[in-house]
Structure 1
Amino acid sequence: MRSAVETRPDVREEQREKQDILPPYSVVLHNDDHNDMVYVVQCLMKTVPGIGAARATRIMFEAHNKGKAVVTTCPLELAELYRDRLEGFGLTATIERA
């Protein structure tokens, strides 16, 4: 006789499988001495959907004070797109495996 309670697959195992298929990458913004802070915030908001003024300002200040800051973490293809957009605005950005 079957149990009335069905077992769910391990959620952590599903997350690990997804990460194996689409491993996460971080888009990293680097500090520079030639872009205005307000301009950097505007570029971040235009580049990554869902980044508002407050979050963009925190990212900008972290990059300014610490030399670099993680903008977002996502699959590689999106990370490449966001990096390219930031570089298109004249900012310095790289991609790192998260």
Structure 2
Amino acid sequence: MKQVAQMGSKTVPEIDEALLRKLLPPYKVILHNDDHHSMDYVVKALVKSVPQLKKQAAVKIMMTAHEKGTAVVTVCPKEPAELYQARLLSFGLTCTIERDE
């Protein structure tokens, strides 16, 4: 294991990005345009469903889906992608996941 840096008395190991990507392939969480809910509702659902999203980012995602039909909410390993998808579906939004090549 290679050492990248020392932080105080802790050593931070180098991360093998290729191995990590192979073990935990990334998935895109995709929001589809919604003509049944208000824009404000969609933004609130995004912020509640994906904890790392801030309101400003959620507004951009909602606007992209509104204007282009779909928008990528986040890219992450499959398990959290499925969780975020389930949360967005619970708000009555259309959401899919697909492998990010």
> For residues 14-46 of structure 1, what are the alpha-carbon distances to aligned partners after superposition, in whole Å with 9 as ceiling and x for unaligned?
101100000000100000210110000000000
Whose relative contact order is higher, 1 or 2, with alpha carbons under 8 Å and at least 6 apart? 1
Alpha-carbon deviation of 1:8? 6.5
Higher helix share: 1
Gaps of 5+ in 2: 5-13
After TM superposition, the runs of 4+ consecutive aligned structure 1 residues lying more than 4 A away are: none
Number of the residue aligned with 1:89: 91
- Indicate the SS of the match to 1:42: helix
For residue 24 of structure 1, what is the amino acid of its counterpart? P
- Distance in 1 (CA, whole Å) between partners of 2:63 and 2:37 is 13
TM-score scaled by length of structure 2? 0.84
Higher strand share: 2
> For residues 33-77 of structure 1, what are the alpha-carbon distances to aligned partners after superposition, in whole Å with 9 as ceiling and x for unaligned?
101100000000001112111000000000000000000000000
- Distance in 1 (CA, whole Å) between partners of 2:34 and 2:40 is 13
TM-score scaled by length of structure 1? 0.86
Aligned length: 90
Q: How does 1:12-91 map to 2 (within 5 A)?
A: 14-91=16-93
Among the aligned pairs, what percent are the same residue? Answer: 52
- Distance in 2 (CA, whole Å) between partners of 1:32 and 1:88 is 14
Number of the residue aligned with 1:4: none
Gaps of 5+ in 1: 1-6
